[in-house]
Amino acid sequence: MRVAAGLSAKDVSAAKTALQHSIFAVALRNEDEQLVGMGRIKGDGGYLYHIVDIAVEPAYQGKGFGKVIMSELTRHLDENAPKGAYVSLFADVPADGLYKKYGFAYTAPKSEGMYKKY
């Protein structure tokens, strides 16, 4: 589903390990129990949280599934993250518009995201 939704492919073994270390995850399924949307939170469980892997199958995009995923993820954070916690995410265009609706803002020009790929 990642690739169909425009995300990068991942090694199955690494993905299983990553999922086991999630703090919270959302999986949306259709009437046939096929995965059509997902998102999860990773972090230290204290003050650092990162929203990742938000994806919706192309046939289900534009129908509110992204909002359902973000609503559930932010509900979990609202109920569990301590005051002062830092929640981050990488926002691809045009999904950045969705994240803004949930209170997320760009960090630039104060900071820029960086990464190193292995």
Which residue(s) pair with 56 in the sheet? 37
pLDDT at 68: 98
Query: So what's the pLDDT on residue 92?
Result: 84
Structural domains in the chain, CATH included, are 3-101 (3.40.630.30)
At 58-99, the pLDDT tens digits run 999 999 999 999 999 999 999 999 999 999 999 888 889 999
Give the pair of three-digit tokens for residue 11. Answer: 């090694």
Beta carbons of 10 and 16 less than 8 angstroms apart: no
Q: In what order do the strands lie in the sheet with 48-56?
A: 24-29, 35-43, 48-56, 86-89
Tokens 């993250």, residue located: 81
Q: The tokens of 87 are what?
A: 């929640």
Position 7, amino acid? L
The span from the CA of 94 to the CA of 49, in Å, is 22
The end-to-end CA distance of the chain, in Å, is: 22
